[in-house]
């Protein structure tokens, strides 16, 4: 059974993908752009980092902010949370516009592509994700029977964005939903997961 908790978790996690694009671009371009846009790049990195931290914090304490027992109530709360993220979207859009208006072309073609193509695409993806969450429907969060799919997806997301030490977040969801943790551990072992993941799930 893929639960409402799991569906909410995955929906929130979607925000991290475009943010990782923005943050990764900012890291690569640090100290490699002319002074005329250096402030905008620093502000973009700061605002993207703040939003990413908000999302990580929300995922860590999901049940405190979202009613994961009700997909109807959860959808309402996610729409409200996503509306609050619009302030970041407005700031990041303004910064991208200022960077584009400067008309900077970098000699390194790879860096130029990141500045003039990857950054704007990352912003558009972020805007699309916020827009989708602002209009998310309860049926998208309703539980359905697909336990291993969401556990695999959740583990992949956590390993990519946080590391094995954060696997406990999945355990918390499973316990809240009444899963037998030992049975889930056995399933994951059959799926080929190593001791690091299995121990983190049950520690």
Sequence-separated (6 or more) residues with CB below 8 Å from residue 134: 79, 82, 83, 86
* pLDDT given for residue 37 in this prediction: 97
Cβ contact 25:47 at 8 Å: no
CA-CA distance, 81 to 75, in Å (whole number)?
A: 10
| Residue in 39, 160, 43 with CA at minimum distance from that of residue 102 | 39
| Residue in 138, 192, 200 with CA at minimum distance from that of residue 174 | 200
Percentage of the chain beyond pLDDT 70 is 95
Sequence-separated (6 or more) residues with CB below 8 Å from residue 43: 91, 95
* pLDDT score of 200 more than 70: yes
Q: Which domain holds residue 68?
A: 4-140
Digit-coded pLDDT (tens) for 140-149: 888 765 566 7
Asked if residue 154 and residue 132 are part of one domain, the reply reads no
pTM, two decimals, is 0.72
* pLDDT given for residue 174 in this prediction: 74
Asked if residue 152 and residue 136 are part of one domain, the reply reads no
Tally of structural domains, the chain: 2
Asked if residue 121 and residue 58 are part of one domain, the reply reads yes
Asked if residue 98 and residue 73 are part of one domain, the reply reads yes
Asked if residue 188 and residue 164 are part of one domain, the reply reads yes
- What CATH number is given to the structural domain containing 122? 1.20.1260
Cβ contact 104:37 at 8 Å: yes
Q: Measured between alpha carbons, how far is residue 87 from residues 25, 65, 74, 91, 98 in Å?
A: 21, 19, 21, 6, 17
Mean pLDDT of 162-185: 74
**Residue finishing a domain among 118, 140, 162:** 140
Digit-coded pLDDT (tens) for 82-122: 999 999 999 999 999 999 999 999 999 999 999 999 999 99
CA 12, 162, 45, 64 torsion-angle sign: positive
* pLDDT given for residue 153 in this prediction: 76
Asked if residue 134 and residue 43 are part of one domain, the reply reads yes
144 compared with 53, residue with greater pLDDT: 53
Region of 102 (left: φ > 0; alpha: ψ -120 to 50; beta: rest) is: alpha
* pLDDT given for residue 127 in this prediction: 97
* pLDDT given for residue 101 in this prediction: 96
User: Does an H or E element contain 108, and which?
Assistant: none
Asked if residue 135 and residue 157 are part of one domain, the reply reads no
CA-CA distance, 60 to 44, in Å (whole number)?
A: 24
Q: How many CB atoms lie within 10 A of CB 3?
A: 24
**Residue finishing a domain among 120, 140, 160:** 140
**Residue finishing a domain among 117, 140, 163:** 140
Q: Which two tokens stand for residue 134?
A: 């602002």
């Amino acid at each position: 059974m893929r639960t409402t908790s799991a569906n909410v978790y995955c929906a929130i996690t979607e925000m991290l993908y475009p943010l990782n694009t923005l943050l990764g671009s900012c890291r690569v371009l640090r100290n490699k752009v002319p002074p005329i846009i250096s402030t905008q790049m620093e502000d973009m990195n700061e605002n993207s980092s703040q939003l990413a931290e908000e999302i990580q914090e929300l995922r860590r304490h999901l049940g405190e902010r979202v009613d994961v027992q009700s997909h109807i109530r959860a959808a309402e709360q996610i729409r409200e949370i996503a509306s609050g993220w619009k302030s970041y979207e407005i700031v990041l859009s303004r910064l991208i516009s200022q960077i584009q208006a400067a008309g900077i072309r970098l000699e390194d073609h790879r860096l130029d592509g990141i500045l003039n193509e990857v950054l704007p695409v990352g912003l558009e993806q972020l805007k699309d994700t916020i827009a989708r969450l602002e209009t998310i429907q309860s049926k998208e969060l309703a539980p359905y029977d697909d336990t291993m799919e969401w556990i695999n997806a959740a583990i992949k997301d956590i390993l990519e964005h946080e590391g094995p030490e954060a696997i406990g977040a999945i355990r918390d969801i499973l316990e809240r939903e009444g899963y037998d943790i030992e049975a889930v551990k056995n399933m994951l072992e059959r799926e080929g997961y190593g001791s690091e993941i299995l121990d983190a799930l049950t520690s």
